[in-house]
């Protein structure tokens, strides 16, 4: 199959990229069913932009930079803050039914480490509403073909190293070779590589593995954001209790009803996520269970303000109107990914990346709440525009090597689960050298003899994450080490890893 542009991933980032390209054929491949089982559709709290009368892009940028703990990329931060209001206006024009206040203006929620109310939302199902609107817009585009249930497995590179397409696996298992002038990776993050996660289990960093194996630079993989308030129930993944619940005044307490954030940070429950996640994890390590108590602040309004969370909690036997909600930290967002510039260019010609799969430097060492849907929209559209402005290449020159897949051997799910357990144990909220080294040894052993391509990719991303985390001998933002508990000015920079091209026979 031939196309002009192959977009891999149909979350907000991939869809925004596709909508910015109207001059050539675009194929969008999505492993997950369209609009389902992807982080974009699960986003609850909302989408941040400086829209309030007392707010400004400069203040949104300042909050984003502060969350980034000294290493956010200034240009990326300024671009996001400046372009976020237009991204919301575009969504309104596409029909996203954002909540409104009595005057008809957008109702803006408050979330942790934002100095102002700036989170637009559609009840607690913002991501689903946005994804639906973008999908409708994409479906109306005559130049776009949607390939649903199709998994990209490897990038194709030409003899010059440029990316020329990808090998896809069709739903029946057939391999499809797609050549394209440009490939946009929008495959999301790798939270699904953790045993305790709020993300879809399909978020396993496939794009990061594909790009790295093709030789693209990767960045900032050690920074994984843990959400402090996943619903603590036996479920995989764990349901999320949005930060917006704390924004409405719910408080974190232990089993005795004592507030755990008191004396930790003046912003208490609305301190940056890493601070809150560490405090919850520390309470758990000391043998205390942690609860989010919304009874006083929200009480009877809970079902109306947070209908999705209410339904899930009730389904788990917890009534948030009358009982504290049991919570625990879980992997939630991966800051690192394929290194890009502000227009989504990766280090490889022909390859762009955007959304959670990419690392622009926007988040530095920690992501500000509700900055990632808007990141996908702003940087996805920028990548799409850059692709549209790029010259069409001579596809006749073809591709160098078409790799063959690793046939599945045995129960590859069991090996995948080993990777996930080791990620949560060794690369969780609080890390140290011994735990990370143990995890890395396992990932390297699995990489050397993988039972399937997907487990080979999982181990590849996990090992790269462990190496980046071991090399950062300090604590900063989302990366916290018991053996190096302080930030070290010598590490006040981002991490760039060269992509690794392994021997083709082993890892196809």
Ligand X SMILES: Cc1cc2nc3c(=O)[nH]c(=O)nc-3n(C[C@H](O)[C@H](O)[C@H](O)COP(=O)(O)OP(=O)(O)OC[C@H]3O[C@@H](n4cnc5c(N)ncnc54)[C@H](O)[C@@H]3O)c2cc1C
List interacting residues with ligand X (CB under 6 A).
Answer: 8-14, 29-32, 38-40, 42-47, 126-127, 151-152, 186-188, 198-199, 202-203, 206, 240, 333, 355-357, 370-373, 376
Task: State in angstroms the smallest separation of the CB of 227 from ligand X.
Answer: 8
Min separation Cβ 233 and ligand X, Å: 14
- For ligand X, which is the closer residue by CB, 254 or 412? 412
Distance of closest approach, residue 207 Cβ to ligand X, in angstroms? 6
CB atoms within 10 A of CB 9: 32
CB atoms closer than 10 angstroms to residue 299: 11
Which of 109, 426 has the CB closer to ligand X?
109
Comparison of 206 and 261: residue with beta carbon closer to ligand X: 206
For residue 5, the cross-strand partners are 26, 182
Residues with catalytic function: 273
**Nearer CB in complex with ligand X: 200/435:** 200
* Minimum CB distance to ligand X smaller for 227 or for 472: 227
Q: At what angle do helices 453-471 and 412-426 cross, to 10 degrees?
A: 10
Alpha-helical runs (H) found in 172-241: 206-213
240: burial class by Cβ within 10 Å (0-12, 13-18, 19+)?
buried
Q: How far is the CB of 212 from ligand X (least distance, A)?
A: 13
Choose between 13 and 470: whose C-beta lies nearer to ligand X. 13
| Residue 429 backbone dihedrals phi, psi, to 5 degrees | -60, -40
Q: Residue 102 Cβ, how far from ligand X at the closest point, in Å? A: 24
CA distance 352 to 334: 18
Report in angstroms the alpha-carbon separations of 275 from 30, 249, 344, 370, 462: 35, 17, 30, 17, 24
Nearer to ligand X, 158 or 192 (CB): 192
CA distances from 87 to 13, 100, 377, 457 (A): 12, 17, 7, 33
DSSP structure string for 285-350? HTT--EEEE-TTTTGGGHHHHSHHHHHHHHHTT--TTTSPEEEEEEEEEE--EEE--TT-B-SSTT
One DSSP character per residue, 344-384 reads -B-SSTTEEE-GGGEE-STTTTSPPTT-HHHHHHHHHHHHH
Rounded CA gap, 359 and 354, in Å?
8
Backbone angles phi, psi at 406, to 5 degrees: -80, 120
Q: Least separation, in Å, of the C-beta of 490 and ligand X?
A: 30
Residue 191: CB minimum distance to ligand X, A:
6
């Amino acid at each position: 199959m031939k196309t002009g542009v192959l977009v891999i991933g149909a979350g907000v980032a991939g869809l925004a990229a596709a909508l910015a390209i109207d001059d050539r054929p675009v194929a969008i491949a999505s492993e997950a069913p369209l609009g389902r089982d992807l982080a974009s559709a699960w986003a609850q709290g909302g989408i941040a932009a400086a829209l309030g009368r007392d707010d400004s892009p400069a203040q949104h940028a300042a909050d984003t930079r502060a969350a980034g703990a000294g290493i956010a990329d200034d240009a990326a931060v300024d671009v996001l803050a400046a372009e976020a209001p237009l991204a919301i206006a575009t969504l309104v024009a596409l029909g996203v039914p954002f909540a409104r206040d009595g005057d008809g203006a957008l109702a803006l929620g408050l979330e942790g480490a934002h100095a102002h109310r700036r989170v637009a939302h559609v009840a607690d199902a913002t991501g689903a509403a946005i994804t639906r609107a973008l999908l409708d817009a994409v479906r109306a585009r005559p130049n776009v073909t949607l390939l649903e249930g199709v998994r990209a497995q490897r990038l194709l590179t030409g003899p010059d190293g440029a990316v020329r397409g990808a090998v896809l696996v069709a739903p029946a298992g057939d391999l499809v070779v797609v050549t394209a002038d440009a490939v946009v990776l929008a495959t999301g993050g790798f939270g699904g590589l953790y045993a305790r996660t709020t993300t879809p289990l399909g978020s396993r960093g496939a794009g990061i593995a594909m790009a790295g194996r093709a030789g693209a630079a990767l960045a900032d993989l050690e920074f994984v954001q843990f959400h402090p308030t996943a619903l603590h129930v036996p479920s995989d993944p764990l349901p999320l209790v949005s930060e917006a619940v704390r924004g409405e005044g719910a408080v974190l307490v232990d089993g005795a009803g004592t507030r755990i954030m008191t004396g930790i940070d003046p912003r208490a429950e609305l301190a940056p996520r890493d601070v809150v996640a560490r405090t919850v994890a520390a309470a758990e390590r000391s043998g205390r269970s942690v609860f989010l108590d919304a009874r006083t602040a929200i009480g009877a309004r809970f079902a109306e303000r947070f209908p999705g969370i209410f339904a899930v909690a009730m389904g788990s036997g917890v009534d948030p109107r009358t009982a504290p909600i049991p919570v625990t930290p879980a992997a939630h967002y991966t800051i690192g990914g394929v290194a890009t510039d502000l227009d989504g260019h990766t280090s490889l010609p022909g390859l762009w990346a955007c959304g959670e799969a990419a690392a622009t430097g926007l988040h530095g060492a920690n992501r500000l709440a509700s900055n990632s849907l808007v990141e996908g929209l702003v940087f996805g559209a920028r990548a799409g525009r850059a692709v549209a402005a790029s010259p069409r290449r001579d596809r006749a020159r073809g591709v160098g090597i078409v790799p063959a897949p690793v046939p599945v051997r045995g129960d590859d799910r069991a090996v995948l689960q080993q990777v996930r357990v080791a990620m949560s144990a060794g690369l969780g909220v609080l890390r140290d050298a011994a735990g990370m080294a143990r995890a890395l040894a396992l990932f390297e052993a699995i990489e050397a003899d993988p039972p399937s391509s997907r487990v080979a990719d999982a181990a590849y991303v996990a090992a790269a994450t462990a190496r980046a985390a071991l090399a950062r001998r300090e604590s900063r933002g989302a990366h916290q080490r018991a053996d190096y508990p302080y930030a070290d000015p010598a590490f006040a920079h981002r991490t760039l890893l060269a992509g690794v091209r392994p021997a083709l026979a082993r890892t196809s």
